[in-house]
Amino acid sequence: MTDTSDHTDEFSRLRAHMVDEQIRARGVRDERLLRAMMDVPRERFVLSGRVADAYADRALPIADDQTISQPYIVAYMTAQLEPAPHCRVLEIGTGSGYQTAILSLLCEKVYTVERLASLAVEAKERLMEMGYENIAYHVGDGSAGWPEYAPYDRIMVTAGTPDVPAPLVDQLVDGGILVAPVGGEREQTIVRVTRTGDKTKEKYMLACRFVKLIGDHAWPES
Ligand code: SAM
């Protein structure tokens, strides 16, 4: 398969297989989330030369040396975020926009921040063309959050950071949840942070590998 236009049935079959074998089988049970993963055509978010791999059980390259995350990691992190229909969600690292699309189906509004303008523009065009409307886009350093629309009910970071950036915790509502890959440059652990008043509780969940979150409150640009 080299294009996405004439293979709708085959992609739907691959998507259903992905949801059953990679996600449900690994213990994700949230039916709203599973439906969202079934709804979003991942083949539209990968590089044109990689559509045949769109439903493979791994991350794939996108432009600018970045990646679209493995479907299971997208599902796992989204499940940990506990997205509810009333939630306003801040997403750091728009990338291809795939995770943004999943969140947009599950929440009231998604505020997504991408450091690289070319990726942000492409993702916005793609998501608008596909009819996802409840998304606000921003190009900038997401390690500083997006203070203009804070506080957020949920925050999802989709790039690896040495620590949870303090401005993100500040921009979380009381009772809010933040999910981020935290650790070294090559390997991290998915961390779930819950905020209660001025206190936070961190739970380390699952080993993972993400590209770096580069910014004032994360990794320096090399
Ligand atoms: N969630 C994306 C998807 O579904 O395609 C994948 C995100 S990719 C693993 C990580 C993204 O974070 C890259 O697009 C990268 O440019 C972006 N990024 C890195 N540092 C950032 C920062 N400080 N602020 C915003 N985005 C950043």
Please, is 2 exposed, middle or buried when counting C-beta atoms within 10 Å of its C-beta (0-12, 13-18, 19+)?
exposed
pLDDT of residue 5: 53
- Is residue 69 part of the annotated active site? The answer reads yes
Whole-model pTM? 0.96
pLDDT of residue 11: 95
Q: Confirm or reject: Cβ of 115 under 6 Å from ligand 1.
A: yes
Domains in the chain: ranges and CATH:
5-208 (3.40.50.150)
Of ligand 1's atoms, which has the minimum distance to the CA of residue 99?
A: 4
Task: Please identify which of the residues 69, 96, 104, 143 carries the catalytic annotation.
Answer: 69
Q: Confirm or reject: Cβ of 113 under 6 Å from ligand 1.
A: yes
pLDDT tens for the 222 residues of the chain, in order: 445 555 778 999 999 999 999 999 999 999 999 999 999 999 999 999 999 999 999 999 999 999 999 999 999 999 999 999 999 999 999 999 999 999 999 999 999 999 999 999 999 999 999 999 999 999 999 999 999 999 999 999 999 999 999 999 999 999 999 999 999 999 999 999 999 999 999 999 999 999 999 999 999 998
Q: Confirm or reject: Cβ of 67 under 6 Å from ligand 1.
A: yes
